[in-house]
Amino acid sequence: MTEQTHNVAQHEDNKLIAERRAKLAEMREQGNPFPNDFRRDSTAAELQEKYADKSKEELESMGIRVAIAGRMMLDRKAFKVVQDMTGRIQVYASKDVQKETRHWDLGDIIGVRGTLSRSGKGDLYVNMDEYVLLTKSLRPLPEKHKGLTDMEARYRHRYVDLMVNEDTRKVFQTRTRLINSMRNYFAERGFMEVETPMLQVIPGGATARPFVTHHNALGIDMYLRIAPELFLKRLVVGGFERVFEINRNFRNEGLSTRHNPEFTMVEFYQAYADYNDLMDLTEDMLRRMTQEVLGTTTVVNTRELPGGEVETVEYDFGKPFDRMTVVDAILRHNPDIQAGQLGDEVSARHVAERLGIKLKDTSGLGKVLTEIFEATAEHLLVQPTFITDYPKEVSPLARCKDSDPFVTERFEFFIGGREIANGFSELNDAEDQAERFRAQVAEKDAGDDEAMFYDDDYVMALEYGLPPTAGEGIGIDRLAMLLTNSPSIRDVILFPHMRPEHKAEHQKAADDQEGTQ
């Protein structure tokens, strides 16, 4: 939109807003313009479903009276379209009613009582004989044919996006069904839903940079949690052997189509289980969830390729999921790499350098292998795949494999080239955990602001004894992206974080200026 076009549009909006404010002022003189005594007894979807098979003649003979309420989205003089949370339904206004409701505008919230009928075209409607304006909308809705198409505007003003874009409403309805399906799955298997602190003295459970705040009464700095893991495992120590939490986490990191600083996960822990048990559980849960939420175990996504072409991909949750180790994945997707080149740090570093991967001087063989995997194989894991046996160096909370202590009993779950879940057999050796925390502190002192803190209380909890346990975290937002075919994490978060609008405009102007130089 050019600046001139934008200014014209803004002028028209201001004119319409002024007209609506004048109508509201007139209404104030006649009494309270925001009544709260109307009660509906039906929703649009209930009526559409309940009377779907009733003809016009049948409805007329039944004389069904209903009370509905919602936002007026279309005004076709005699017929107006009302939208509530469940959908849309028409209301019919006679000429006399049209005169009495002439001060109504699109976007107004109205209450209507009347008899149910069907039009000659077959549409269900309410013949309104009682009506009231419940809330005056002072701002005009987006133009009905163009809707709200600017993505930034949709994210910033989600309330308008939800009003006018049915696809947006469906995305968040799907997200809710996804969460409900998971919650029911855990409840059926004896997991206890719990809540753990979001404000923590020591942030733990993941390698990430935390947000810092200050507690005035306690006089201490605190952190928004980066994961609930260490508290959930404390509960397992305490005797709650199966726990889960649908939780909000906060990580002070960059923004991207896959990352938001505030995001939702489900984390769950099961005593007397290992990472193989959780891979089986995850596969079963996701298969059932897709069937319940979508009605099929085949998830269809479209994605844009680097050249601009659009590709359609089908993800099959009905088939057994692939399982392979980190090293196996590297070898499968890099035919020119030999297994012997990954067996020691010097050789692996040569491979990484040849691939153009930048490494820290402090990175050992485990981190080097992980960097090679993430750069060359991760994005190629299209169908549901578990990657196992992550090196101990990058898994500070996971139990080492008895057969090979260099790696841990850990997996990550990928689909469409995205990591969706991370799980492992928990480290329950208090002395080993203390040593790993000390190694993390050394990395933090060396400049790694994502390394973990030393958590004395958690080590003490382990000293009381954590039973053999497996735990996992699944990213709800990324899973919602998958099930709703959404290209950006902002599409599945109701209120995603964005740069303040005045700063965003300044940044855009700077970018435009740079582009002209």
Taken as a whole, the chain contains a residue count of 517
**How far apart are the C-alpha atoms of 469 and 95, rounded to whole Å?**
71
Query: 213 to each of 247, 357, 371, 497, how far by Cα in Å?
Result: 19, 35, 32, 18
Calculate helix-pair angle for 476-484, 166-188, nearest 10 degrees.
Answer: 130
Nearest to 408 by CA among 371, 436, 431: 436
Which sign, positive or negative, has the C-alpha torsion 24, 28, 30, 36? positive
**How far apart are the C-alpha atoms of 22 and 4, rounded to whole Å?**
27
Query: 295 to each of 176, 177, 187, 292, how far by Cα in Å?
Result: 15, 12, 21, 6
- Whether residue 229 is annotated as binding a ligand: the answer is no
* Residue written as token pair 């919230």: 109
Q: Is 514 exposed, middle or buried (0-12, 13-18, 19+ CB in 10 A)?
A: exposed
- Whether residue 353 is annotated as binding a ligand: the answer is no
Side-chain half-sphere exposure of 131, counting CA atoms within 13 A: 27
Question: Residue positions in the annotated binding site for Mg(2+)?
Answer: 412, 419
Question: Residue positions in the annotated binding site?
Answer: 412, 419
